Structure 1
Amino acid sequence: MALDAAQRRVVDLPPGHGPVLVLGAPGTGRSTVTVEGVAQRIARGTDPQRILVLTPSRETAATVRDAVSRRAAATISTPLVRAWQAYAFDVLRRAQTQDLLPGVSTAPVLLSGPEQDAFLAEMMRGHEAGYGSAVVWPPELHEALGTRGFRGQLRELFDRMNEYRVAPEQLAAWAEPLGHPEWRTAAAFRAEYQQIRALRMPNAFDPSELVDRAARVLEENPDFLAAEQERLDAVLVDDLHEATPSAHRLIGVLTRGRDAVFTANPDTTVQGFRGARPDLLRTLEERVGTPAHPLQRLHLGTSHRMPPSVNLAWQRVARAVSVVAGARTNRAPENPPEPSLEAADAVGGMAGLLGAHGVGGVEGDLPESGSDIAAAAGSDTASALREGSVRVALFDSPTAQARWCADHFLRLHVLYGVPYREMAVIVRSGSQLNALTRQLAALGVPTTTSAAETPLREEPAVIPLLNALRILLAAQEPAAPAVADEHPGADADGCGVALADDGAVTTSGERPDPAAANPADTPQVEATPLDPQRRGVMLTATAAVSLLTSRIGGASPMEVRRIRQKLRGYELRTGGGRTSDDLLVQALADGVLLELAEVRSDAASRVADMMLEGRDALDAPGPTAESVLWALWEASGVGPRWRRRALAGGSESVRADRDLDAVVGLFEAAERFVDQVPGATARAFMDYMDHQELPMDTLAARAPAEDNVSVMTPAGSAGRQWSHVVVAGVQQGVWPNTALRGQLLGTDVLTDALDHGPEQALRLGAVDRLRQVRFDELRQFATAVSRAGESLTVTAVATQDEQPSEFVDLVAAGTGEESEVSVEELSAPEPLTLRQLTGTLRRTVTSPAASPEEREAAARLLHEFAGLPEPVRGASPAEWWGHEPLSTDEPLFEPGEAVRVSPSKIETIHRSPLDWFVAEARATEVTDMRRSLGTLVHDIAEHMPDADAVELVAELRRRWPSLGMPAGWTGDQELERAETMLRKFAQYAREMRSEHGRHLVGVEGSFEVLVRGAARDALLTGRVDRLEVDGHGRHVVVDLKTGRNKPSKEDLPEHPQLAAYQVALQAGAGEAMAGVSSPEDLHESRRPERIELPEGAVLAQPGGALLVQLGGATAAPGVQEQEPLDDEQNWARELITRAAVLVAGTRFEARHGAAQQSGHGIHCTVPWVCPLCAQGRQVTEK
């Protein structure tokens, strides 16, 4: 490739040139001279095995390695490009084989960040339980001790101790002089951590310790260092500005006075949060230079990647960063005098989108009124195709920002043929990355991310596998205590370190007393085969539903409901009485029940197969976490389906890719655990995963990115470039994130003391440290801006609550003579997807405003869409709901048949017959009534109608766990509410007898009354909560209400439900529902006999009907009474028979106000099917 003069000077350095530092702005070719330098040396005859290239990360190493492989004219058998952590690990591996690592008898392993975090959490739990050393943290830190954030601060403190070789004794000695007494505790904790790790895993190294230990090996073993230097003719280090102090030591001892080329730009450091120190470039001469071979400095001054506008934007950001002495970079690189690149050829508006899907010959067919898609592309997206376009875009919400990003990428790809792999969006934080990735995928943009941002145990595809393993372990060993050798720290070698049952650490030779950890007053729950428990984890209905509806189960809530109904129906037919919860648990534990109940559910069968195969694997000799998880995964059978989806492309493929990556990561974690802790059981792995709270990096092969938009943080963008870059979410308080790093434990003070001395560290204040944090944030932003090769867009949300960052002003400051930077307030367009285009065409076809030519053109395109080998969904009129034939036109009731009417539904029928029909068809969202609080209160009141408040509350507390209410404030509040309702009920029952002279004759009595009507007969059917008799011998119906709403006083005289109950009493249903001779008969199940109420006749005089309000805010029960019906009044009967007429036909009328609100309690509950609501209108309606 053609190199400029400055690049050629670096590449042509002769052998014996010594250490050389190459400084250059982004795009000037720093990585290029590294790759070309390797290629040139190989071309001159140097053996590739005698060249070493070091980079900051595994990702950048892979990028440089691929570039070297393409340029080198030789076969490379060993990896000559490595991250410096990987090189350090290789040094330790070879040193261990030569017995240069005292105390390490096996191959070294890397303790990952999540593993170290779990280790620290385990120790803290042990200290809290009284095990281990007497580590006492200051009182002001006690509330933070169990949090992930505190452990993160502690790990950061340990990292700096590793980087600077600070012993625990030194940290403790500085605690008082530097005003951080918590350092004394941290030092004791660090010493114990090192002791336990040395005993448990002597061959394991912390990530931050790894590089320093390799440097120590080279420093302390001159012969080993000499051999290492002898085998290497040249060392090239890319992006040295990302190096930590320990990396600088390792590189310094390896390359001192040797042929080495270092490239750097301190203005674009992205690893500052991991300890990168670009300021150490100023002392590079001291580490690598010698009198014979002093450090040379060369500069690259021509920007080959960034076009002029992007170059100027980057310069404005870089000028805000402090200069590193001895490593000053040219912050005004020149652009080469080349003609600007032509924008990609436009495919031709809408035709480009269609051509990508096999539709041809549509040029000129675009209907103008329906072509807003292509029209918008001419202004907004086309500007991005201009060489060097720089824009600032502001939005009124994060959703609008995400939708614009999706539309921007789709238009670049569809209308202008830009591959997705040439686009990227860079955000500041992992939370922004996850949210934007989900939004882009949902809008049809294929995306890829650089690294995991979610803890492995929280991945949707991993959750069901771990849950299934947890359930199997609980079922196999219901007793809580676990033997010592189940844990990684078991005292198998008599080393005096063991793990308590709860994961705590003890340094004594004895096991802790289980009774001491579990006082007598702690409630214990025995486990059963169907109700296994270990440490509060049991196979419950909640766990069963979680498995069914998981990513592996795949069942919808409606499918779970159907499974419950099938199981419950079978139970009742066979004379059983178990609840649907118990049946669901049994069915998943034993697939036989699924067959007996004829449950046809792939999800249920899949979960049952997993439990069966997993149980077999766990019962096999020597089971490990790997073997059991593999049995669960194989039994699920979802692997082939996910692979097909991953290869098919589209938004679903992104999800499938992530799921498969997560499962691969889980198996890799299990393999690492088994390798690191030989003999560890599956339960030990489960405990380990339960305490892992950080994302797990993985060396396992991930799904190939192919043609996807890259979504990443600045750290992931280092060393890469794209044609079109969006830097999104540049908000005040987000970017820059000016929170001081490591402030809780004074890590920043420790670093200052080590760099400048204790006295200077005391003089530095928060303002000085904040300035350094801001510089670090600016460097990351400068990196993000500099990734763009053609167009750059910086976006932010501008509202009263959210403001753009000051960094946006740095980019926008170029408005005027310096450059053309446009600042625009944009709205969220409809993303250019095939689904959206299909919708536009359908609207054009049915729009009265469209011309005949436009409608014909749109119809022709829809016809082509529908005729593709893979038809576009929704293109064929056969799929339009407005054209679908009715599934049936049969009435719900046969002609002449009495229409069944429930008293509680009469009000709904008269309000809106459509609402009644949808509810009867069970097409509305339902609540599991058995679990509802109101149902429990009703059930207790039914079975204990004469009990006092103490007995009722005691029964409530006994049955409360059956509701599955969450523990904590919410559950306590609901329990208190239920207790209040039962106390009100007891008060009502007492006052009913003492003050009103009524007595109870029946509970939950049912009735069937045939009410004759002029147009249609009604069969009034229902059940009453309580049936009482007053002093005149008349029956009174009592309906208990546990809700908070109640009818007004004016509505009571004609309350439909109460009136219907009184009509039933007029027919003599009271005697039928009572019919008891002793209190024991109150709960006997009685099948009601049908009673006919002759027209105009009254067979019995009712005593009225009551609503007893238990759920209101009043202290006493609210009793709302409807007076007895007059014998001459027929309005109640007519209300019932009119309701029968309204629901007897084939059409159901929708009634409500224009704004879905037309009076008290009247609103539309089914807008998705209601013809009065826009959401429910047919697509063919005008």
Structure 2
Amino acid sequence: MSGPTGGTGTAQTGGTGTAQAGGPGTAQETAARLLRRIGGGGAVTVDLDTTVTAPEERRWEGLPGALVAGDPRLDRDAPYAVLGGPGTGKTSLIVDTAVSFLRAGGRADELMVVTPSKESAAAVRTAVVDRLRAEDSYATSGSPVRSVHSWAFSILTTVESEQHGPLPRLMSGAEHDAQIRELLRGHVADNRGDWPDEIRPALPLTGFARQLRDLLLRAAERGLGPDDLEELGRRHDRPMWTAAASFLREYRQVQELSGTTNLNASELLHTALAALRADDARERTDVSSPAVARWRDSLRLVLVDDAHNLDPAAGEFIDLFLRPGVTAVVTGDPDQCVFHFRGADEQFLTRHAATGDHRVTLSRSHRLTAGPAAAVRRLQERLPASGAAATSLRVPLTGVAGEREAGGDGDRPAVGGAAPAGIAVHRAPTVTAERLVVTDHVRRAHVVDEVPWSRIAVIVRSVADIPALRRTLLSHGVPVTVDPTSVVLAEQQLVSVLLLALEALLRPLTTAEVQRLVESPLGGADPVMVRRLERSVARAVLGTGMRAMECVSRIVLREATPTEEQQWTRFFGPREQGVLDRIRAVVDAGRDAHRAGGSVETVLWKVWQAADLSASLQQQALRGGTLGSQADRDLDAVMSLFDLAGDIVERNPNVSLRTFVEDVRAQELPTGGRDRRGVAPDAVEILPAHAAAGREWDVVVVAGVQEDSWPAGLTVGGLFGQVELVDALDRGIEPGAPVARAAGALQEERRLFLLAVSRARHSTLVTATGTSTDDADVPSRFLREIEESGAVQGTGAEDTGDGEDTAAGQADAGGGAGSEGTASTTGAPTSVAGEGDDAALPRVLAVEPLVAELRDAVCDPDRPGHERDAAARCLGRFAGAGVHGADPDDWWGVLPPSTTAPVVPEGTPVRLSPSAIDRLSTCGFTAFIESVRSDDAPTEPMLVGQFIHALAEAFADGLDVDTAHRLVETVIPELVDAPPAVVGHRVETWRQGVTRLHTWITARGGADVEVAVEQALEQDIGQTARGYRVVLAGRADRLETGPDGTLVIDFKTGTAVTKQQAEDSAQLASYQLLVTDGGGTAAGAVLVYPGKDTKTMTVRRQSAATPERVEEFRASLLDLADTMIGPEFTAAADGGPGAGDTASLSPATTQGRQVVE
């Protein structure tokens, strides 16, 4: 390692060693205990590796070697600053210095290793422990590695404990946000606060609370209290600052009333600083804190890692311990400072690096190969110089991993050996294609290059980009892990349903919420089981007007009577009954604990215990794979929920269950739980770019590098002017002064991109969406910058594919699927022809899409015979290996029918309805579905139609039009769920329609005309060819019987048909058939449309049926009835006219068809 100024040095890797711990008997006994604990019962094998492998020893030379060895000749009057780019060994130097100090006899309380975050502290702590675990003679009861906030918290707790003050408590960001929103809700309800009148409507909005919290955090980072912020607001005429100051004052008063000292991270550092300064003042009078004095006096070595990510308060806090005589090492890289939005500032690092003789530069990257290093250098060239005006603290990378030094073989071997190391860019035509490219690259790295899942990462710009990529990876068999801090706790699937089960103890759940429980892990019902459950209940309640899921809800919530429950569940099998029993067991267990006065923790535990998911999730997690990664995530989420419950009960032992549920639901920011895992899960990690700081993997994919998201749009000060506050305090810029911020924001995004592309030890793939012909999705300008370095491989790799390179074709030409040599990590993946925008989707190296493509080839009659034969042979090999979906017995549509018996039992008449005949004649399948489905909730048109029919009946009994108008004005608004303007229009439309209807009805009739309304008609009209009796039954709205016969009148509220359609109407013809068979004379039939906007009533007439026409129509009905017997039904395209929501069930329709196979 070398550099232009200060000390230089090099690091080399040395040998390894092993140490044995325990014996076979001990390992077997421990494994048996673990099996019993997880409930494995032989289903899971636990093997304990008792071999302890010591990490590689590094050799340091020059000034770095002196720092690591603790050379007594070092100057201890000032800290040493170690500067270097990505992978140059800064953290390794920190770890080796700490290990060397402890091995030389130093005590843990004489050493402090400080990092900016708890995640980086955990990583450094693990590295130190791994180096010391082989030391039989070393033991310690404490950890010398802490985050700066952990250190400050420990100091503050010590001081407050000695002074008998209230002990501090560190709040999570989610809790802080929830408390702010709760206070704002109080301001809205009571009209409190000093907010400007024009701002008050925004108080309930989540964005308002987020911006207010951001302002308060920025103020706390700079030590501003309510009075300071209020004075700034008045001085600069910023009413939002003064209002925020008043809010902050109220917030602190509420915290004081709670009896606890709740601090966020920013407040913690300033409170600890104040305590230390007070202690310094007391020290001059010999009354300082003994514990703090011992801590300061005992420290001999202070190591600060990633100092570029410390905020000014953290730097000031650490400076209080950097006294003469204490060896201090500060490492960092200003070009990797990506947390300015959280208050991070390179000032602490650059101040200590300003002295040349105390500056150490590391210029050789032990992580990056030549390609990524060149890309990093190109990005660094576009960044402004750091440090003093005349001196840049940037250390160019002059050496990279894998280069031979002095005839050596490089510092590490290649991974797997199949894919070349370096950096590549892929521009995909669509977002879907990009995700498949990422998935294929990840799978090839694992399958071909043998990279462990845990050594692969996918980095995205923001948390919002994670879910879609996660779904794609999981669907192709890639186990995935996502940091809990990337997902809101209440939005975790298992936590969400547990909260719902708790809410069932406090209020009646809706039908939709009960269905969520049924479909959740608590109920354990998949979509097929849900359908079976609904069909069983629907069969039991057929004709009652009740919906199946409403009945299920009442059973689960124990709202049904024993008779109703027995009636509704009489068609249940053991599996259907098991679903309801599991949910009721969970709810009952929680209800019993709640009624017994149990605490929140007790009730939650009883619910979780009754769910009986712990053992199964543990076994899934131990098995690994995609299901294992999801189970691991679920268990972590449940543990976080219990941690939160414990914390809330600890603060308030009498907290109610309702308050707990509301608190968890109110948290809208992700929060991290306590990490109890000893090892990282064997899964690919998807994480936002900021979370990748200080970490490394073998293979990294940087996905979604678009111009509109990376660089992200310029973040302005918002409603509160947060950026202007920071500028006023840190740079002395007057608020309101014109400031060009675009360049600074762009540099911040460039630093973040530099960090992302510098995380891989072996290979990096950068992906984006968009081509030269696509103006909607534009790849980021950063792609062009790294391409200018000349080291990027495969730039612009876009495979449009012609659809000829199929799996079957490859198998036929190359010896079948799975042949060696067919998979390669070089170049772009091949494509599969499709339709629409995704006409050329890249093929993913995974079993599922390959099986799907082979099945498509086998079933395609247009494919050449040799391709279909080759595909069949491949499927046979897969089926023999037990691959799901390869065996034709698993395919839908190839199994024989479950029954060939007629739908209508022999001896039972076939019943036809006049209103269903038109549908039966166009699509027998849809008509059958409609005849057996349970009654759905009535729709708006149905309710309006029933109302108009009731008015028509009332007009026949003498109802006057004025009363009808009042009924319209009262009833229609209750039936129409729409904006007021639409409701008013409907009311006026039906006022006019009712007037027309009244005029038309009152003008009809006479002394010789007999009128009947809502008349039921039913006749046995004959026998089918298979010997089934046919009954035609319906209800006529109005019958007018006079000297010429009976006229059938049917009122309609829908769209009017044409005159010819009315003449051909099977519904009207069936009414005339019923009149004729009933002994009357059919005088015709009419359709009446009162809702049609015309001056006179719209009427469509069907002429009187002749005897010949009646018999002809009877014969056609008997033929139609024969088709209703089944078991085969004719299906029409799109279900025929009027099919409604049952159209998607028809095999001849395109509606609802799966478009991605």
TM-score over 0.5 for the alignment?
yes
Render the CA deviation track for 1:490-539: whole Å, top value 9, x for unaligned: xxxxxxxxxxxxxxxxxxxxxxxxxxxxxxxxxxxxxxxxxxxxxxxx54
Give runs of aligned pairs for residues 221-300 of structure 1, distance below 5 A: 221-222=279-280, 223-224=288-289, 225-257=292-324, 258-284=326-352, 296-300=358-362
- Matched with 1:400 is 433
- Matched with 1:587 is 555
Matching of residue 1052 in structure 1 with residue 1052 in structure 2: no
Contact 1:1008-1:1021 within 8 A present in 2 as well: yes
- Matched with 1:182 is 240
Query: Partner of 2:796: helix, strand, or coil?
Result: strand
Q: Which amino acid aligns with 2:346?
A: P
Render the CA deviation track for 1:824-847: whole Å, top value 9, x for unaligned: 224532322222233344456667
Render the CA deviation track for 1:318-342: whole Å, top value 9, x for unaligned: 2222222156121333225335776
Tell me how far 1:855 sits from its aligned partner: 7.0
Give runs of aligned pairs for residues 512-551 of structure 1, distance below 5 A: 538-551=508-521
- Matched with 1:714 is 689
* Counterpart selection for 1:776 from 741, 748, 754: 748
- Matched with 1:12 is 69
* Counterpart selection for 2:225 from 167, 171, 175: 167
Tell me how far 1:988 sits from its aligned partner: 5.7
Q: Which amino acid aligns with 1:89?
A: F
Alignment partners' CA distance in 1, 2:1072 and 2:985: 31
- Matched with 1:830 is 843
Tell me how far 1:429 sits from its aligned partner: 0.9
- Matched with 1:934 is 941
Matching of residue 1129 in structure 1 with residue 1109 in structure 2: yes
Contact 2:917-2:1066 within 8 A present in 1 as well: yes
* Counterpart selection for 1:95 from 159, 178, 182: 159
Q: Which moved more, 1:853-862 or 1:117-126?
A: 853-862
Alignment partners' CA distance in 2, 1:280 and 1:470: 49
Query: Partner of 1:1019: helix, strand, or coil?
Result: strand
* Counterpart selection for 1:880 from 877, 891, 913: 891
Alignment partners' CA distance in 1, 2:621 and 2:996: 63
Q: Which amino acid aligns with 1:548?
A: V
Structure 1 pair 342/35, CA: closer, same or farther in 2 (3 Å)?
closer
Contact 1:460-1:659 within 8 A present in 2 as well: yes
Render the CA deviation track for 1:1003-1041: whole Å, top value 9, x for unaligned: 373534424567877724343362332665854545555
Alignment partners' CA distance in 2, 1:641 and 1:1172: 41
Tell me how far 1:14 sits from its aligned partner: 2.2
Tell me how far 1:563 sits from its aligned partner: 5.2
Tell me how far 1:796 sits from its aligned partner: 1.3
* Counterpart selection for 1:552 from 502, 507, 522: 522
- Matched with 1:305 is 367
Identity of aligned residues (%): 30
Structure 1 pair 921/295, CA: closer, same or farther in 2 (3 Å)?
farther
Render the CA deviation track for 1:878-926: whole Å, top value 9, x for unaligned: 323454222222233467976443333333333233444455565xxx8
Matching of residue 607 in structure 1 with residue 667 in structure 2: no
Structure 1 pair 562/1171, CA: closer, same or farther in 2 (3 Å)?
closer
- Matched with 1:421 is 454
Tell me how far 1:187 sits from its aligned partner: 1.0
Query: Partner of 1:452: helix, strand, or coil?
Result: helix
Contact 1:1065-1:1100 within 8 A present in 2 as well: yes
Structure 1 pair 681/793, CA: closer, same or farther in 2 (3 Å)?
same
Give runs of aligned pairs for residues 686-725 of structure 1, distance below 5 A: 686-701=661-676, 705-725=680-700
Alignment partners' CA distance in 1, 2:200 and 2:914: 59
Tell me how far 1:613 sits from its aligned partner: 2.0
Matching of residue 315 in structure 1 with residue 377 in structure 2: yes
Structure 1 pair 655/1008, CA: closer, same or farther in 2 (3 Å)?
farther
- Matched with 2:442 is 409
Matching of residue 2 in structure 1 with residue 61 in structure 2: no
Alignment partners' CA distance in 1, 2:998 and 2:348: 84
Contact 1:317-1:782 within 8 A present in 2 as well: yes
- Matched with 1:491 is none
Structure 1 pair 780/1107, CA: closer, same or farther in 2 (3 Å)?
farther
Alignment partners' CA distance in 2, 1:819 and 1:344: 19
Alignment partners' CA distance in 1, 2:743 and 2:265: 28
* Counterpart selection for 2:149 from 77, 82, 85: 85
Alignment partners' CA distance in 1, 2:712 and 2:1124: 62
How many positions carry a matched residue from both structures? 1010
Tell me how far 1:30 sits from its aligned partner: 0.9
Structure 1 pair 202/937, CA: closer, same or farther in 2 (3 Å)?
same
Q: Which amino acid aligns with 1:1170?
A: P
Q: Which moved more, 1:460-469 or 1:663-672?
A: 460-469
Query: Partner of 2:672: helix, strand, or coil?
Result: coil
- Matched with 2:172 is 112
Structure 1 pair 584/751, CA: closer, same or farther in 2 (3 Å)?
same
Give runs of aligned pairs for residues 451-462 of structure 1, distance below 5 A: 451-462=484-495
Q: Which amino acid aligns with 1:452?
A: T
Give runs of aligned pairs for residues 635-714 of structure 1, distance below 5 A: 635-701=610-676, 705-714=680-689
Tell me how far 1:263 sits from its aligned partner: 0.8
Contact 2:454-2:685 within 8 A present in 1 as well: yes
- Matched with 2:1147 is 1170
Alignment partners' CA distance in 2, 1:713 and 1:241: 19
- Matched with 1:391 is 424
Structure 1 pair 1106/1173, CA: closer, same or farther in 2 (3 Å)?
closer
Structure 1 pair 161/1124, CA: closer, same or farther in 2 (3 Å)?
same
Alignment partners' CA distance in 1, 2:420 and 2:1010: 88
Alignment partners' CA distance in 2, 1:783 and 1:1038: 78
Alignment partners' CA distance in 2, 1:313 and 1:230: 46
Structure 1 pair 411/762, CA: closer, same or farther in 2 (3 Å)?
same
Query: Partner of 2:886: helix, strand, or coil?
Result: coil
* Counterpart selection for 2:214 from 147, 156, 162: 156
Alignment partners' CA distance in 2, 1:834 and 1:1115: 68
Query: Partner of 1:1124: helix, strand, or coil?
Result: coil
Contact 1:243-1:278 within 8 A present in 2 as well: yes
Could you list the runs of 5+ residues in structure 2 that have no partner in the other structure? 1-56, 281-287, 800-839
- Matched with 2:261 is 203
Structure 1 pair 1145/176, CA: closer, same or farther in 2 (3 Å)?
closer
Contact 1:914-1:1148 within 8 A present in 2 as well: yes
- Matched with 2:802 is none
Tell me how far 1:653 sits from its aligned partner: 3.2
Query: Partner of 2:83: helix, strand, or coil?
Result: strand
Contact 2:1015-2:1039 within 8 A present in 1 as well: no
Could you list the runs of 5+ residues in structure 1 that have no partner in the other structure? 347-381, 475-537, 1069-1097
Give runs of aligned pairs for residues 979-1128 of structure 1, distance below 5 A: 983=991, 986-987=994-995, 989-997=997-1005, 1001-1003=1012-1014, 1005=1016, 1007-1011=1018-1022, 1019-1024=1030-1035, 1026-1029=1037-1040, 1034-1039=1045-1050, 1041=1052, 1047-1068=1057-1078, 1099-1106=1080-1087, 1108=1089, 1119-1128=1099-1108
Structure 1 pair 1015/580, CA: closer, same or farther in 2 (3 Å)?
closer
Alignment partners' CA distance in 2, 1:645 and 1:463: 20
Q: Which amino acid aligns with 2:317?
A: L
Alignment partners' CA distance in 1, 2:451 and 2:1052: 64
Structure 1 pair 449/580, CA: closer, same or farther in 2 (3 Å)?
closer
TM-score, length of structure 1 as denominator length: 0.78
Q: Which amino acid aligns with 1:319?
A: E
Matching of residue 335 in structure 1 with residue 335 in structure 2: no
* Counterpart selection for 1:432 from 465, 468, 491: 465
Contact 2:515-2:549 within 8 A present in 1 as well: no
* Counterpart selection for 1:52 from 112, 121, 126: 112
Give runs of aligned pairs for residues 830-869 of structure 1, distance below 5 A: 830-842=843-855, 862-863=875-876, 865-868=878-881
Alignment partners' CA distance in 1, 2:264 and 2:1096: 65
